[in-house]
Structure 1
Amino acid sequence: MRYLPLTEADRQTMLAAIGVAKVDDLFADVPAAARREAPVDLPFSAGEMDVERRLSALAEKNLPAGRAPFFIGAGAYRHHVPAAVDALIQRGEFLTSYTPYQPEVSQGTLQYLYEFQTQVALITGMDVANASMYDGATATAEAAAMACRVTKRKTILLSGNLHPHYRSVTATSLQYSGLVVEALDPDPLDVEDLLGRIGPDIACVVVQNPGFFGRVKDLSALAAACHAEGVLLVVAVTEPVSLGLIAPPGAMGADIVVGEGQSIGNGLNFGGPGLGLFATAEKYLRQMPGRLAGQTVDVDGRRGWVLTLSTREQHIRREKATSNICTNSGLCALAFTIHLSLLGETGFRRLAEINHAKAVTLADKLRRVKGIRVLNQTFFNEFSVLLPKSAAPVVETLAGRGILAGVPASRFYPSYPELDEVLLLTATETTTEDEMDRLVQALSEVLS
């Protein structure tokens, strides 16, 4: 393929058509402080061995989750991933798979996507699920936009207990859509009045369960209040392992369930990739973003799979598309499906029970530390505590001792001084009692 660059006249014609004077105007939303005026200070060339040495030295500065007592959660969780998951997803037919436009040569990919959808629908308690999305945050933004299409309303109400990344991605994604995003203040004590905010102008209420600060709630009353006003309830789940123990959002009346699937089958990987979950009621099927794999039979009556629904812009929908997201994190979805299949229903429930038991043990130990107050009455594997001093310096001090002691709420909400002493802590099946005791001992010394 030849490279045919644009002429200056071509550029000016294109700029005039979209109403800007110069190319730099296209980057007006990027803060000036984030723009580079010169190339990155890296050598233009280097030998392979030299590159390996330099990159390895940089990598050694990281502290992987498995090398230290690890109590970090806040939307991304460390779980044990069976070796079989990694072995299977690296098979060539999966590792190099792409969008299955031709079902006759993509039966393996379509089958696992169909099974993935089935698993997500089952654990969320919804009728139908799509073939995944980027991550939980973008799935939430898509759910909010979908709710506005369904209700023909423009105002989206975000709970203060929705993950701050989900809040900011939703606001950013919809800022030029003509929709209104109203976000309540963060609320570790969970006393916000969502019921009092529901009205005929609201398209949807978006909540998280367990909430960002760890609290688990029964959303049935909220769902009933939403439906009485024609409002859709969107529930986000950042920790899908919790669905092995907590009543699924669908059973509480959710209209759309979104979430982050990273916890099942996928490691932390220092920040990604993620796996967006998206499920809804059947009556909203055609407003659902992404794509849907379906089961059918061929002319000989043999079972097969096809791409049943695809409302993405790169398919036939074009400008009528429900979403322009053009990936489904397929390899991560496959890892999710394999891991959940290995667990089975009994194993999934048992994994959730172990997670909750670990967190209960940790909370009980922390209650005995002078000055620490556990804020949650209910939680799954993550909860918040109030320290007698600012949480961020405490976390830094413990990191210097080789203990990754959770996430200060101020990291996400620096402009809320009332959250300065709030610390989020997580315990999963990977957390040992010895690690808990090390954390408790270190906190006792730092806080004394």
Structure 2
Amino acid sequence: MPFIPHTEADVKGMLGAIGAPSIDALFDEIPAALRCGPLKHVPEGLPEMQVSRLMSERAALDGGALNFIGAGAYEHHIPAAVWEITTRGEFYSAYTPYQAEASQGTLQVLYEYQTMMTALTGMEVSNASMYDGASALGEALLMALRANRKNGSGRVLMPRTVHPYYLDVVRATTPAQGIAVEYLDYCPQRGVTLADALKAHEGSAPTAVVIQQPNFFGQLEDVDAITDWAQAQGALVVAVVNPVSLALLKPPGEWGSGARFGDASDGIASAPERPAMDGRAGHSEESGGRATDGQGSALPRGADIVCGDGQPLGSPLSSGGPYFGFMTTKMAYVREMPGRIVGRTVDLDGKPGFTLTLQAREQHIRRAKAKSNICTNQGLLVTAATIHMSLLGPEGLEEVASASMANTRTLVEALTSIPGVTRVFEGAGFHEAVIRLPQPVAPLLERLSQREIFGGFDLSAHHPQLGNALLVCATETKTGADIETYRRALAELLA
């Protein structure tokens, strides 16, 4: 049976009822130059057997290579139970839970997810997911523009250490809506934002300052001092974070210590790490004094908006996806948050239940008042992330983060033992690092892939000033034998 089971007589009858001569006439307001025409490159339909074979062949292209790439797509171990539960019919086939009385299970999962993400990021409220991390950053900047009425210029200070693909999305989605991005240079020795780059903007009333932690190079930014500086300028702080790193690092909701930016002897203060958690993923103790706005008034603690990609939380690397974005914020800005929020309430009998509360999408409110129309709810991936975090717990997530950091240190030590291979940046990092090779990167990566090794992310296109630079990553999935296999293969190719 065809997907749309309308006969030609049905179609003719409906067109006659509305007085239209043809289906094409329903779209005559669209100029011919904007229409795609026939879909010449879409293949004809295939029988089920051939479709299954085609999809199996394409899935096999992922292969079983050793992966050291990272760069926003991280290979973590996913307990088997995560997707066994996620793909149960109750979750796998559930649609957006508009009917609360029929969707209590889905709504409760989303509510638990929101609770976990606020705990992890140290913020007060979370939405029920975004499309992906890159578009979440674009949405966060537009949200900051709406929320920061005092500094409403739309000027955003963006470190060049932010993921280049995120920058591409921001450039594509925000300029027409009033965002003007100004870039901040980074320290060539440390790979973190320069103090002088920020000081050049003092008194310019920026709308927002972006901080990625860890940054694209895997380095740890001086988040406390940057946060204090931004808030002293009246700017909102937009944090872009790796959720796994928050099992070890201070959560964005607690950034800001009162230190002056650049107090360290080399102009960049060390980013703080947190050695242990107190049973809540992302919580750390208060520390240090509070910064002021120059007139003695204490600045608010923490980032204002936190976003990122949830892929490290239970989503597999599967032919380039899937991904989901997350966003958390302070309660003061909740009505500017895109997407939807699940709330807990009671029914007429006093029994607890869950329902969609704030829904700022154009589907639910007048289009002119919508906060966004691209904040897709990635419900299935959010379900997997919730189950993943539940199974690991705070201690398990901390073990994953610690093992990833340790493996990356081992990887860098192994690779830099090869003559001509050096580490590019000094200082603390998470589970990625930049190394410099004595030969062009792209041909080496191609030859490594022929040995079933994905050697890293070539930085030459995005940061040519770094030379033959390669971003490498090791998560908890890598063993000493894996690292030695990579070291030996790279050494042979360089020789």
TM-score for both structures, normalised by structure 1: 0.89
1:129-140 equivalence runs, <5 A: 129-140=126-137
Counterpart Cα distance in 2 of 1:220 and 1:235: 12
1:68-217 equivalence runs, <5 A: 68-151=65-148, 152-184=152-184, 189-192=191-194, 193-217=197-221
Question: Which residue pairs with 2:434 in the alignment?
Answer: 384
Counterpart Cα distance in 2 of 1:429 and 1:293: 33
Counterpart Cα distance in 1 of 2:143 and 2:487: 45
RMSD value over aligned CA atoms?
A: 2.3
CA shift digits 1:170-214 (9 cap, x unpaired):
111113223323344687633542343354442111121100011
Counterpart Cα distance in 1 of 2:390 and 2:39: 50
Residue 105 of structure 1 deviates from its aligned partner by 1.4
What letter matches 2:432 in structure 1?
E
Residue 70 of structure 1 deviates from its aligned partner by 1.5
Counterpart Cα distance in 2 of 1:382 and 1:197: 30
Q: 1:203 to 1:49 in 2, by over 3 A?
A: same
SS of equivalent residue, structure 1 residue 79:
coil
What letter matches 2:446 in structure 1?
E
What letter matches 1:40 in structure 2?
H
> Is the Cα contact below 8 Å between 1:76 and 1:263 reproduced in 2?
yes
CA shift digits 1:142-184 (9 cap, x unpaired):
0000111112332222210111111111111113223323344
Question: Which residue pairs with 1:311 in the alignment?
Answer: 360
Counterpart Cα distance in 1 of 2:24 and 2:318: 43
SS of equivalent residue, structure 1 residue 157:
strand
> Is the Cα contact below 8 Å between 1:391 and 1:420 reproduced in 2?
no
Question: Which residue pairs with 2:343 in the alignment?
Answer: 294
Question: Which residue pairs with 1:24 in the alignment?
Answer: 33
Counterpart Cα distance in 2 of 1:123 and 1:208: 16
What letter matches 1:438 in structure 2?
T
Counterpart Cα distance in 1 of 2:129 and 2:481: 37
> Is the Cα contact below 8 Å between 1:154 and 1:201 reproduced in 2?
no
Counterpart Cα distance in 1 of 2:164 and 2:202: 21
1:348-359 equivalence runs, <5 A: 348-359=397-408
CA shift digits 1:96-131 (9 cap, x unpaired):
112211211111111111110011111111111111
SS of equivalent residue, structure 1 residue 380:
coil
Question: Which residue pairs with 2:238 in the alignment?
Answer: 234
CA shift digits 1:10-49 (9 cap, x unpaired):
645x34xxxxxx242478xxxxxxxx9971274x354433
Counterpart Cα distance in 2 of 1:272 and 1:198: 40
1:335 and 2:381 matched: no
Q: 1:180 to 1:392 in 2, by over 3 A?
A: same
Aligned residue among 460, 465, 470 for 1:410: 460
Counterpart Cα distance in 1 of 2:24 and 2:80: 54
Counterpart Cα distance in 2 of 1:51 and 1:208: 42
SS of equivalent residue, structure 1 residue 194:
helix
> Is the Cα contact below 8 Å between 2:313 and 2:385 reproduced in 1?
yes
> Is the Cα contact below 8 Å between 1:261 and 1:275 reproduced in 2?
yes
Residue 316 of structure 1 deviates from its aligned partner by 2.2
Counterpart Cα distance in 1 of 2:23 and 2:314: 48
The higher radius of gyration belongs to 2
Q: 1:198 to 1:124 in 2, by over 3 A?
A: farther
Residue 445 of structure 1 deviates from its aligned partner by 1.8
Residue 7 of structure 1 deviates from its aligned partner by 6.5
CA shift digits 1:363-402 (9 cap, x unpaired):
2222312111112321111111111121111111111122
What letter matches 1:153 in structure 2?
S
Q: 1:92 to 1:11 in 2, by over 3 A?
A: closer
Counterpart Cα distance in 2 of 1:295 and 1:258: 23
What letter matches 1:269 in structure 2?
S
Residue 56 of structure 1 deviates from its aligned partner by 3.5
What letter matches 2:142 in structure 1?
A
Residue 347 of structure 1 deviates from its aligned partner by 1.3
Counterpart Cα distance in 1 of 2:354 and 2:244: 28
SS of equivalent residue, structure 1 residue 197:
coil
> Is the Cα contact below 8 Å between 2:66 and 2:452 reproduced in 1?
yes
Counterpart Cα distance in 1 of 2:344 and 2:65: 45
What letter matches 2:414 in structure 1?
K
CA shift digits 1:62-105 (9 cap, x unpaired):
143xx222101000100111111111111111111122112111
Q: 1:52 to 1:103 in 2, by over 3 A?
A: closer
Q: 1:38 to 1:120 in 2, by over 3 A?
A: closer
What letter matches 1:181 in structure 2?
V
> Is the Cα contact below 8 Å between 1:149 and 1:287 reproduced in 2?
yes
Question: Which residue pairs with 1:266 in the alignment?
Answer: 315
1:398 and 2:448 matched: yes
CA shift digits 1:329-353 (9 cap, x unpaired):
0000000000100111111112211
Q: 1:228 to 1:382 in 2, by over 3 A?
A: same
> Is the Cα contact below 8 Å between 2:460 and 2:466 reproduced in 1?
yes
Q: 1:202 to 1:45 in 2, by over 3 A?
A: same
Counterpart Cα distance in 2 of 1:267 and 1:137: 18
Q: Percent identity?
A: 43
> Is the Cα contact below 8 Å between 1:113 and 1:333 reproduced in 2?
yes
Residue 254 of structure 1 deviates from its aligned partner by 1.1
What letter matches 1:159 in structure 2?
P
Q: 1:53 to 1:107 in 2, by over 3 A?
A: closer
> Is the Cα contact below 8 Å between 1:198 and 1:226 reproduced in 2?
no
Aligned residue among 280, 293, 299 for 2:329: 280
Q: 1:394 to 1:258 in 2, by over 3 A?
A: same
> Is the Cα contact below 8 Å between 2:460 and 2:469 reproduced in 1?
yes
SS of equivalent residue, structure 1 residue 246:
coil
What letter matches 2:249 in structure 1?
I
Q: How many residues align?
A: 425
